[in-house]
Structure 1
Amino acid sequence: MTTFIFDVLKDLQKNNANLSELTFILPSKRAGLFLKHQLSSVAKQTIFSPSIISIEEFVEELSQLKSISNTELLFQFYNTYLQLTKKENADTFEVFSKWAQILLQDFNEIDRYRIPQKNIFEYLSNIQDLKHWSVEGNQTDFVKKYLAFWNKLHSYYTHFTEHLLHNNLGYQGLIYREAVENLEVYIQNNSQKQHVFLGFNALNTCEETIIQELLKNNLAKVYWDIDAHFINHPNHDAALFTKHHKETWLFYKNNPFNWVTNYYSTEKNIKTFGVPKNIGQAKYIGSLLKTLKQENQTLQNTAVILGDETLLIPVLNSLPENSDALNITMGFPLKSIPLASLFEALFHLHKNPSNAFYYKEVINIISHQFIRPLFFVDGIDYASKLIETIEDNNIIYVTVERLNKIAENCTAVINTLFLNWDTTIENVLKNCSNLIITIKQHLDENKTSNLLSLEYLFRFNELFNELSRLNSTYQHIKDVSTLFGIYKELLSSETLDFQGEPLQGLQIMGMLESRVLDFETVIISSVNEGVLPSGKSNNSFIPFDVKLENNLPTYKEKDAVYTYHFYRLLQRAKNVYILYNTEADVLTGGEKSRFITQLEIEGKHNIQHQIIVPEVPVIETTLNTIEKTENLQNELIKLAEKGFSPSSLTSYIRNPIDFYYQKVLKIKEYDDVEETVAANTLGTVVHNTLEDFYKPLKGTFLTVESIKNLKNQIEDTVTYHFKKEYKEGDITKGKNLIIFEIAKRYVSNFLDLEIANLKAGNQIKILEIEANSEVIIEIPELNFPVKLVGKVDRVDEYNGITRIIDYKTGRVDQNLVEIVNWEDITTDYKKYSKSFQVLTYALIMQLQGDIKLPIEAGIISFKNLSAGFLNFAKKDKAGAYAKKDTLITQDTIDNFTVELKQLILEICNPNIPFTEKEV
């Protein structure tokens, strides 16, 4: 395959051009490397290398101005803005930066296309005047300020550009405009210098003027790279700009147009693949490359063009394992580096000055992969200590003093992360630099395995040095929020460059990096509408119709640029693989691109289309089963000897696997910080409050007066138990205050129920409160003792009948403490767990000899308090009219004991594994 660059060099050689004395000007620096490489294939003898520069470098040389970064440009422009705006009307730098970016972009376009500045700014101002009826005398202050802004655009431009020119600085458009102004002098001083422009397509007015003047003075040659199929087509956008140059340039009235080729019509293998999702495309690119490598043994002369450059990392992770030489033209965005998330978290934390920090943000920072190792001192993991202390004490907002107290050996790191961020911007930037140095010192301990991380640190150190320089020079950054905005601006434009083999093996690049280059095999990803081409976008103060009138580029021209690049990649290629995302996404492109549809309609090539469906393995869901090994059986024996509680047994009924994890392996549920009081915390507070109230009344008959006295203690007792259980959590506002009031209401309503019962003539005697009970239950089939343990909330005597009462802060209805068939009590957790629980308490207390049958047992539900005491009942049949027996007799206990023993035997049976229940 012959490339465009090679064809140009052969043509120059055929015309006896002295290659060493030529100045080659290309659209990008990247193409210059390939040009230099091709020279060795053309030159028949040793020659000096010609001058090879990009159009940007050439124009900068012409203008004699130095280009500055977009970020510094913003700082410089703010100086102009402040000088021309009254202090009371001036925006802050943070607000200014939002709209100034767009205005600077418009300045750039106006200069690149040599639009008379005064005319267009006055035109824009007049448009706004008409929109707001400027002749009206009753304009609001807002409208007046708005119109004043538009009237000042020209003065902003003039003052700003004069300042830049005075300092020999410029943005791209200004450099282009000045280059045109200096062109005559340049031609006079370089009358023998020959320029070769190759591979250009869309040119701005300045570029057109420069090239045409050089052509006019016989100082240049231009080589266009366009195919006859496109330029002869009346409406093909791939040739939109080239046709314009051919038809409007005076030079081509009398000179040939170099050059039109016929490569696009040659036979090609073009395949399009619809692949679901971006990650699917990345994975399929890996599969394609693997297949190509197996067929050709090498990926030389193969390029992967990423329409969406965010696919870089997924594609790199999907490359075949045996990939050899690899070159990545595009840099890795700094915003995608793990270190970026650390500084973003820090800026978010300190954006609003505070003495205490939200625990989640603190944990997020100290758990970061670059920070956590810094908290490992003298064999102690202080990061874990900090996290555990925050969670154990329920600390929602934590101070620096508290952090330093917990991790006393990490004060330097803690102070860098959390102190002096609300003083001056110099201190903030100093903290960032100190943090980078601290992380570097840690990574230096094992430098060979941390080379990539050290490279990350180096690039971020450069970034913060630049921020420090900008801040010290201009002093426009007044707070962390503004600094964060500028940091993100810099971060979005900075990249970490890869090192590779630029001329060998697989090439991975973006669409614009492919200019002038040709590859035999091309894989293009993300060929979707909204990506390739990007579609309508108008990030400009200049309306669409004004752009048309002044010949400024619109989205149509932008689309035409991508059309040219897309088709140019296809011109000389033999194998083309086009991938698009089949999953419509409003934000990142929807249907397949019009480029694919156009290829199909043209009918020039046979396009093979295929929808790729990823292989999704069918994973059969099998219930988790744990066989009872000898070790596990020993653990069960220990558990039986320690005691089965009603909650542990109902846990087995609900799901044996849960019982195995929680009771055998003793895996606790993760305790997170309770920002809002949890249901179990509320339950504990209510239980403990009632325990404090009724413990002193044990063995006595309740009186209305004694209960009324308890009501006066509700506030203090509930508050005490909340502080004890909820630790340092705040119950003074928000949802927590509501839950605190609910807890008081629960207790108050319960006491009211007691008073109502007593006033109704009922006698209540407190027998036990929060009674810890345990008893050995005889199971002959087992050769080890089995103990039952339980904590009964309350045992009382109600009109001579003993009652076992269990408190529930959740809602319980009467039907949940009733049973028809005894065998169901150990099978259906939802319906019978409450019955199982109170009957277990009854059995334990009966075996202990603490109670005499018959008795009653049941639930008091604080969410269903109006129902009163919910008695356990044995029904003779299902239905509303069934006969109920609410007294627990020996017969009741015997029937329950049979079911209980069978359940324990099942738990301890070595031949019955723990099997997960379907949810």
Structure 2
Amino acid sequence: MRSFIAEVIDDLNLKVDDFEHLVFILPSKRAGTFLKKAISKSIAKTIISPSIFSIEEFIEQVSGLTYINNTEQLFKLYETYLTVGDFEKESFESFLKWGQTLLQDFNEVDRYLIDGPKLFSNLSSIQELNHWSLTNEKTELMKNYLHFWNHLSPIYSLFNSKLLQENVGHQGLVYRTAAENIGTYLSHNSKNHVFIGFNALNNAESEIIQTILDTTKSTIYFDIDSYFLEDPVHDAGLFIRKHTARWDYLKKNSLKGLSNYYLSKKKIKAVGVPKNISQSKYVGNILEEIQEHTPDQLKNTALILADENLLNPILNSIPETIDKVNITMGQQLGNSPIASFFESLFEIHEQRTTKGWFYKDFIRLLSHPVTSILLNTSGFSTNEVITTLKTKNWAYITKEHIASVLDFKIATIPLLFGQAFMEPKQFIANSHVLILELKDIYTQNGNNLALEQLYKFHTLFNQLQDLLFKYDYITNLKGLKTLYLQLLSSETLDFKGDPLEGLQVMGMLESRNLDFETVILTSVNEGILPSGKSNNSFIPFDLKIAHGLPTYKEKDAIYTYHFYRLLQRAKNIHLIYNTEPDVLEGGEKSRLITQILTDPNRKDVTEIIASPKVTILQENVESIRKTEDLISLIRTYAAKGFSPSSLSNYIRNPVDFYKQNLLGINDIATVEETVAANTFGTIAHDTLEELYTPFIGHELSREGLEKAKSQIEDTVQKNFKKTYLDGDFSTGKNLISYYVIIKYIQNFIEIEIEGLSKCTTKVIALEQNLSVTLKIPGIEFPVVLKGKLDRIDEVDGVVRIIDYKTGRVQKSNVEIKEWDSLVEDYQYSKAFQLLCYSYMYNHIHPSNSIQAGIISLKNLKAGTQFFAKKESSGRATKEQQRIASEIISEFERCLFHLISEITNPEIDFLEKEV
């Protein structure tokens, strides 16, 4: 394969004696490197390298201006915006949201040499029409809005004038100035110019190139296949067809660079794979096959990323056996851990309220690896700090809270959390100190990649600091963060490699003028290639058409050209697209693939849908074998005592019993932003215990209950503070929970008062701890059953064991038909618990007249839901609700069987599906 650049040099060798006096202009810097290589190969002597420029460098030289960076442009544009007109001006923070769009429009207007005042006058008139009003007088808001559009032209003119005074310019202004200065440039430069590989040109570029071609012995080479040029509707040849029709030079001279490679024999494969990671893995497979079978082919292979966000997964998918890889694009600095650290630092200070820092934001910063490094170096464990704030249930973290767990005398702590409401300049100053601390840590650890990233952040914060001292528009952290993120989005960590060796990884635009035998192109999806419609402009579509500005149609044609140009000389082509349309990852398969598949002249295209091999994982039920150590653990636990809840946990899932009850592995502690169900229940239980304690050993009385009723709110408040710790319950859902508990207990006591007229109730005990040693046949070690009974009372001579529940309880939960279901089905866990309590009480106080029931505070109208053993379906009678000796005996059989199963070394703990 002969590359386009090599062909150009071959042609020039026949016509030019000396390359030293030529000026080469190419679309990109990268193409210049390959041009130098091609020149060195074509000549047999040592020469001084000719001048080689990218088009932007050449335009800058012609104009005599220097490009100003985008951020500086924004500040100068805002400065201009403030000085023009007397309408109400927006803050800089608000301006940042649309200032970039206005800059792009100014840039387009100048690059295409459009009459700015005329265009903006048309735009103002359009806005007047769009915002007409039936009333004679416009509102103040409408006036301000229209004032802005009426002043766009003076803003544009004054902005450009200010830049020219400083001898700088945005890209469009530099191009317009170059077009105006081209005559002066040529009068001082007698060298011949060679333009290589251009396609779409803006008006300024077109005028400059035509002037040079018409007035000097310069030449231009277009990289185009005759197949596209001769097709009157093919977008790949759109711009060059326009040039041949309009340029006087091309009307007089034949088109140079025309080729006939596209219809040559190729292997084109269109491959659909699901999602971006699969694309990366598929690319890895292709490269692995090339490396295994034809490793020399990698020297002439390009991996083109239409979506540059795919770089990181692609880098992780390149086989380790490929030792030479050159990456043209840079890695986004915004994807580094340090970037997310500073973003979290911004957020925690930006979002602080008068209550303090919200715990999720605080934990996010504390959990960050960079924060851990800083705090661990200072002698603190981030895990311990996080555990403390979760244990104390701090939903909002104040400086006092932080001072109780961290030492503010250590320099790092005040830098992170020292000031409640930080000013932008102070934030930058703190960030500089943190960067220096991290530099020392990374230097000691030998983390060179982190040091490179850190240096980039050092320069970024220096830039922010300079802007803050130069301009006074940024007055809060929100505005500083917006500017920081804007600067960060354009920062990259550049890779170092040999641009002429090994596998080449690059973006679509870097591939201009370059040719490869094997091309792997990813993300060939609509919305990415081509990028599709975008309306990031204040200038409407029809106005752009009227003034000759480019629209999305021209943008699509540019991408079409780049796409087909890559295919012209290539022999092996892999077009990979995402089969799963997604807003972020592109739409359906690109129209460019469809065009190739339907092209009658292309019979060498195959399309496949690839998918990763899916291995069906066998779902193995977790089984815990009872080793000697585990049996010892079970014996220890049995001696301390099985509780009804632990036995219910075993019925639900033996593996959970093993992990939670035997090993003590509990759920991860979390901050209760809102009152959890178990906390809600604890507060209700403690309140009822405190209110009913005066009745222990006595009958309930109206006077006593009325007194208790008057104490409800104070008691609930006290127990809320005790159980919810430092959690706030003065607002929101927590305040609702507070009043719900009060209402529950008020309703309960009112029902108790109503019941006094029907029966007498004597409170025997509250929150009583019971413990019974069991003698189970076959078990030689001691086994204890223990539990806490919420309430034991006596109603008309019948002893009742009462369990309070704050949730809803159905009768079906406490009534059983078959005894075995108690220890096999978790649905009957509430009935099982009631029988455990009854069994323990009966063991200590034998009785043949016990009832055990649940009072649901959420469903008080249902009354007490008593345990009942039903013989068949139907309503349970009072006789069935009595827990007599035969029921105790049957339950004992079931209980002994359950505990024997738990302690039996031959029966493993088998997982149950919950």
- Give me the TM-score of the superposition, normalised by structure 1: 0.97
Distance of aligned partners of 1:861 and 1:654 in 2 relative to their CA distance in 1, 3 Å threshold: same
Structure 2 residue 905 is matched with structure 1 residue 906: no
When structure 1 is superposed on structure 2, of 134-143 and 764-773 the one drifting more is 134-143
Match of 2:600 among 596, 600, 603: 603
Tell me, in whole angstroms, the C-alpha distance in 2 between the residues paired with 1:890 and 1:210: 108
Contact kept, 8 Å, 1:876 with 1:884, in 2: the verdict is no
Tell me, in whole angstroms, the C-alpha distance in 2 between the residues paired with 1:421 and 1:675: 21
- Residue 655 of structure 1 and its aligned partner are, at CA, apart by 0.9
Letter in 1 for 2:49: S
Distance of aligned partners of 1:397 and 1:231 in 2 relative to their CA distance in 1, 3 Å threshold: same
Alignment correspondent of 1:492: 489
- 3-state SS of the aligned residue for 2:520? strand
Tell me, in whole angstroms, the C-alpha distance in 2 between the residues paired with 1:480 and 1:854: 72
Alignment correspondent of 2:7: 7
Contact kept, 8 Å, 2:105 with 2:538, in 1: the verdict is yes
Alignment correspondent of 2:407: 408
Alignment correspondent of 1:481: 478
Alignment correspondent of 1:686: 684
Matches within 5 A, 1:813-852: 813-830=810-827, 832-847=828-843, 849-852=844-847
Contact kept, 8 Å, 2:793 with 2:800, in 1: the verdict is yes
Structure 2 residue 428 is matched with structure 1 residue 429: yes
Structure 2 residue 319 is matched with structure 1 residue 326: no
Distance of aligned partners of 1:807 and 1:324 in 2 relative to their CA distance in 1, 3 Å threshold: same
- Residue 753 of structure 1 and its aligned partner are, at CA, apart by 1.9
Distance of aligned partners of 1:137 and 1:873 in 2 relative to their CA distance in 1, 3 Å threshold: closer
- Residue 174 of structure 1 and its aligned partner are, at CA, apart by 0.4
Contact kept, 8 Å, 1:285 with 1:315, in 2: the verdict is yes
- Residue 879 of structure 1 and its aligned partner are, at CA, apart by 3.0
Contact kept, 8 Å, 1:404 with 1:414, in 2: the verdict is no
- 3-state SS of the aligned residue for 2:580? coil
Alignment correspondent of 2:764: 767
Tell me, in whole angstroms, the C-alpha distance in 2 between the residues paired with 1:460 and 1:612: 41
Q: Deviations over 1:5-34 (max 9, x none)?
A: 111111111113311221111111111111
Contact kept, 8 Å, 1:25 with 1:55, in 2: the verdict is yes
Alignment correspondent of 2:340: 341
Alignment correspondent of 1:81: 81
Letter in 1 for 2:511: S
Alignment correspondent of 1:217: 215
- 3-state SS of the aligned residue for 1:668? coil
Distance of aligned partners of 1:71 and 1:421 in 2 relative to their CA distance in 1, 3 Å threshold: farther
- Residue 423 of structure 1 and its aligned partner are, at CA, apart by 4.6
- 3-state SS of the aligned residue for 2:428? helix
Tell me, in whole angstroms, the C-alpha distance in 2 between the residues paired with 1:520 and 1:12: 24
Alignment correspondent of 2:650: 652
Alignment correspondent of 1:581: 578
- 3-state SS of the aligned residue for 1:675? coil
Gaps of 5+ in 2: none
Tell me, in whole angstroms, the C-alpha distance in 1 between the residues paired with 2:846 and 2:751: 25
- 3-state SS of the aligned residue for 1:501? coil
Contact kept, 8 Å, 2:621 with 2:910, in 1: the verdict is yes
- 3-state SS of the aligned residue for 2:369? coil
Tell me, in whole angstroms, the C-alpha distance in 2 between the residues paired with 1:207 and 1:263: 28
Q: Deviations over 1:732-788 (max 9, x none)?
A: 11111111011111211221122112122x121221111111111001201211111
Alignment correspondent of 1:544: 541
Alignment correspondent of 1:870: 865
Tell me, in whole angstroms, the C-alpha distance in 2 between the residues paired with 1:421 and 1:233: 67
Contact kept, 8 Å, 2:74 with 2:99, in 1: the verdict is yes
Letter in 2 for 1:783: E
Match of 1:592 among 589, 594, 598: 589
Contact kept, 8 Å, 2:8 with 2:257, in 1: the verdict is no
Structure 2 residue 857 is matched with structure 1 residue 858: no
Tell me, in whole angstroms, the C-alpha distance in 2 between the residues paired with 1:430 and 1:37: 47
Tell me, in whole angstroms, the C-alpha distance in 2 between the residues paired with 1:835 and 1:121: 80
Alignment correspondent of 1:671: 669
For the aligned residue pairs, the C-alpha RMSD in angstroms reads 1.6
Letter in 1 for 2:601: K
Tell me, in whole angstroms, the C-alpha distance in 2 between the residues paired with 1:614 and 1:534: 27
Tell me, in whole angstroms, the C-alpha distance in 2 between the residues paired with 1:135 and 1:748: 61
Contact kept, 8 Å, 2:525 with 2:577, in 1: the verdict is yes
- 3-state SS of the aligned residue for 1:224? strand
Alignment correspondent of 1:199: 197
Tell me, in whole angstroms, the C-alpha distance in 1 between the residues paired with 2:317 and 2:630: 43
Tell me, in whole angstroms, the C-alpha distance in 1 between the residues paired with 2:127 and 2:641: 83
Alignment correspondent of 1:555: 552
- Residue 881 of structure 1 and its aligned partner are, at CA, apart by 7.3
Letter in 1 for 2:362: V
Structure 2 residue 359 is matched with structure 1 residue 359: yes
- 3-state SS of the aligned residue for 1:600? helix
Q: Deviations over 1:704-733 (max 9, x none)?
A: 111111111111111111101101111111
Tell me, in whole angstroms, the C-alpha distance in 1 between the residues paired with 2:377 and 2:215: 73
Distance of aligned partners of 1:883 and 1:474 in 2 relative to their CA distance in 1, 3 Å threshold: closer
- Residue 143 of structure 1 and its aligned partner are, at CA, apart by 2.4
Tell me, in whole angstroms, the C-alpha distance in 2 between the residues paired with 1:306 and 1:242: 25
- Residue 334 of structure 1 and its aligned partner are, at CA, apart by 1.6
- Residue 410 of structure 1 and its aligned partner are, at CA, apart by 6.7
Give the aligned length.
911
Tell me, in whole angstroms, the C-alpha distance in 1 between the residues paired with 2:894 and 2:801: 20
Q: Deviations over 1:489-541 (max 9, x none)?
A: 11111111111221111111111110011111000111111110011112111
Tell me, in whole angstroms, the C-alpha distance in 2 between the residues paired with 1:489 and 1:286: 33
Distance of aligned partners of 1:153 and 1:134 in 2 relative to their CA distance in 1, 3 Å threshold: farther
Matches within 5 A, 1:24-35: 24-35=24-35
- Residue 697 of structure 1 and its aligned partner are, at CA, apart by 2.4
Contact kept, 8 Å, 2:5 with 2:38, in 1: the verdict is yes
- Give me the TM-score of the superposition, normalised by structure 2: 0.97
Tell me, in whole angstroms, the C-alpha distance in 2 between the residues paired with 1:219 and 1:346: 60
Tell me, in whole angstroms, the C-alpha distance in 1 between the residues paired with 2:888 and 2:498: 83
Alignment correspondent of 2:385: 386
Contact kept, 8 Å, 1:404 with 1:410, in 2: the verdict is no
Q: Deviations over 1:324-375 (max 9, x none)?
A: 1111111111221122212222222222453411011011101111111221
Distance of aligned partners of 1:331 and 1:720 in 2 relative to their CA distance in 1, 3 Å threshold: same
Contact kept, 8 Å, 1:420 with 1:428, in 2: the verdict is no
Letter in 2 for 1:162: S
Percent identity of the aligned residues? 49
- 3-state SS of the aligned residue for 1:426? helix
Tell me, in whole angstroms, the C-alpha distance in 2 between the residues paired with 1:414 and 1:539: 43
Alignment correspondent of 1:275: 273
- Residue 477 of structure 1 and its aligned partner are, at CA, apart by 1.0
Contact kept, 8 Å, 2:868 with 2:876, in 1: the verdict is no
- 3-state SS of the aligned residue for 2:611? coil
Tell me, in whole angstroms, the C-alpha distance in 1 between the residues paired with 2:811 and 2:187: 104
Tell me, in whole angstroms, the C-alpha distance in 1 between the residues paired with 2:286 and 2:265: 21
- 3-state SS of the aligned residue for 1:300? helix
Distance of aligned partners of 1:135 and 1:801 in 2 relative to their CA distance in 1, 3 Å threshold: closer
Tell me, in whole angstroms, the C-alpha distance in 1 between the residues paired with 2:247 and 2:693: 103
Matches within 5 A, 1:91-106: 91-106=90-105
Alignment correspondent of 1:19: 19
Contact kept, 8 Å, 1:59 with 1:179, in 2: the verdict is yes
Letter in 1 for 2:467: L
Contact kept, 8 Å, 2:407 with 2:413, in 1: the verdict is no
Letter in 1 for 2:829: S
Q: Which ranges of 4 or more aligned residues in structure 1 deviate by more than 6 Å?
A: none
Distance of aligned partners of 1:353 and 1:826 in 2 relative to their CA distance in 1, 3 Å threshold: closer
Distance of aligned partners of 1:438 and 1:789 in 2 relative to their CA distance in 1, 3 Å threshold: same
Contact kept, 8 Å, 1:202 with 1:241, in 2: the verdict is yes
- Residue 412 of structure 1 and its aligned partner are, at CA, apart by 2.5
Alignment correspondent of 2:749: 751
- 3-state SS of the aligned residue for 1:266? coil
Tell me, in whole angstroms, the C-alpha distance in 2 between the residues paired with 1:414 and 1:381: 10
Tell me, in whole angstroms, the C-alpha distance in 2 between the residues paired with 1:421 and 1:853: 67
Match of 1:257 among 252, 255, 258: 255
- 3-state SS of the aligned residue for 1:803? strand
Alignment correspondent of 1:662: 660
